[in-house]
Chain A
Amino acid sequence: MREQLEYFPASDNSILVKFGDEIKKEINQEIQVMLHLLEKEAIAGVIEYIPSYTKLMIVYDPLTMDYDDLVAKLKELEDRMDTFSTPSTKIIEIPVMYGGEYGPDLEAVAKYNNLSTEEVIKIHSSRDYLIYMLGFTPGFPYLGGMSKKIATPRLKKPRKKVPAGSIGIAEQQTGIYPISSPGGWQIIARTPIKLFDPHRKVPFLLEAGAYLRFIPIRPEKFEWIEKKGGFKWGV
């Protein structure tokens, strides 16, 4: 039996819906179910949604609807959650070039974990990572599920500039820098795919609730995708 959701105001134009207390897949999936219900319902006055690990924030226009109206509407949706089938899981494939200039810290990660670089690549690219949420910087995915075998502490001295598309490891987390920014993660690979392009029809490639799969590619392929504008790849 699913736990009852908790509703509380975050401000005079936003509400938080709490789904649980721990970071786990099942809770995150429930948020996705609610999100899909809300999107289908398209409630007048609801402006946007911010899903996170255990909560869903809903931003609304108090001129259209007050707090109590919105909670009443959300409780109706909550009752319908169990009958609503979970949306099919989307897997987003991200081609990456491991090591070399694209992954300057790959060897350090291998050494730290007493592995070969090939083993690190195999471990990192052999599982799918749930995108729990996006935040921090535009398009930055909070991923779950990295193997402990390749966990590595952050760099002692952060880099002033990590190129966009860099894939890093920090402790037991792995992630992608969607835009170039300063950063202290151990960089093991890079993708030529632009995760974020404000001028594209679909500005962000990743979304919360989807899974991310890293596909190792060769340098020629990297360059080819880059030339194509870093959007479409594969066949």
Chain B
Amino acid sequence: MGSLIVNKPGLLTTVQDQGRYGYQRYGMPVAGAMDSYAFQIANLLVGNERSAPALELTLLGPEIIFEDSFRIAITGGELGAEINGKRIYSWSSVKINSGDRLTFKGAQQGCRAYLSVSGGIEVEEVMGSSSTYLRGQLGGYLGRSLKSGDSLKIVDTNKGDFSGIIKVPTEYLPEYKDKSQIRVVKGPQFNRFSQSEIDKFFNSKYLISTQSDRMGYRLEGARISHQQSSDIISEGISLGAIQIPGDGQPIIMMVDHQTTGGYTKIANVISVDIATLAQMKPSEEISFSMIDIKEAQSFYHQREAMIRELEQMINKIYLIYN
């Protein structure tokens, strides 16, 4: 069985899949890939199931030595990947050989990239998922981010054992650049804010603070006041919920978010724009625009249709060459 060796861990490198569902009622966060579009495409490019465990890389990628030949893909933000010092394209998969060294020059665009390997990374599933939940120290590789010297096993497969690059057509690439407009739907406590505060929220630019991680993005900008109190009786929280705590500075709940909470929520980022947010870095600016649930769900349908089209195209390539 082949494996990959971590020479340098990078800033924050974790094993993720599409998340751990079914346990939020017990207080267990979902975790999983922050940019689920890039994550799924990375897997498709190497002939895996969409949800196979892959690595999520953050800003500074790791240095990895492959101990066997595989097909690998890198998608998401542009972190400057090189194989043996030679630049490789993002959003494509290539065949690499035993002993090859993968390094990263640094983030040029976006924040998170996904590294998939043909066969998928083999880690023990915890509660039905391979995702790393960092605060709970469980899932993924020993419940933590990767360290130098870690050796990750790769599931055996003969898929992708052919030369040549498989590249995602341009029309399927997300536009991470100039995507500072984040679309939201009304949050459950939208009506508890006055019209002037709601206008303020939608007309202001917010800075993503340095206190932002996989759990949540803290924003800095116009303070949103409450008509009554900032607190509600604790209730379930959804991915992308925008909480307004007592200090009036919004917090966006990301994939490692706690399952319940007692802050008012003015809006909720639509599912497809979570991926856009996942690629934004601290000190970047965002603003919000509102759409309705039907529109938000139709964007989700469109994205799924794109993934299925790509899946079919890529499957054909594998049928011919493999």
Contact = CB atoms under 8 A, between A and B. Distances in A.
| A-B interaction | yes
Contact of A135 (B136, B239, B258, B297): B258
B147 to A, nearest CB: 21
A59 B24 contact: yes
Of listed B27, B28, B268, B271, residue having the most chain A CB within 10 A = B27
Nearest to A137: B27
A204 B24 CA distance: 11
Interface string B286-297: 000000011011
Interface stretch (A93-101, A138-146, A183-191): A138-146
Contacts of A55: 233, 235-236
A65 to B, nearest CB: 10
A140 B29 CA distance: 13
A85 interface: no
Interface string B20-38: 0111111111000000000
Main SS class of interface, B: mixed
A89 to B, nearest CB: 18
A160 to B, nearest CB: 16
Interface stretch (A42-50, A76-84, A107-115, A214-222): A42-50
A142 B271 contact: no
Chain A interface: which size bin? 35 or more
A9 B185 contact: yes
Contacts of A135: 27, 234, 258-261
Contacts of A56: 236
A46 to B, nearest CB: 11
Nearest to B234: A52
A26 interface: no
A48 B127 CA distance: 14
A15 to B, nearest CB: 9
Interface of A: 8-14, 16, 21-23, 47-57, 59, 62-63, 66-67, 133-140, 142, 179, 196, 198-199, 203-204, 206-208
15 contacts: A9-B185, A9-B188, A14-B238, A49-B25, A57-B236, A66-B294, A133-B234, A136-B258, A137-B27, A138-B26, A139-B27, A139-B28, A140-B27, A179-B136, A208-B25
Given A50-B236, A138-B29, A204-B23, 4 more contacts: A10-B241, A13-B271, A48-B24, A140-B27
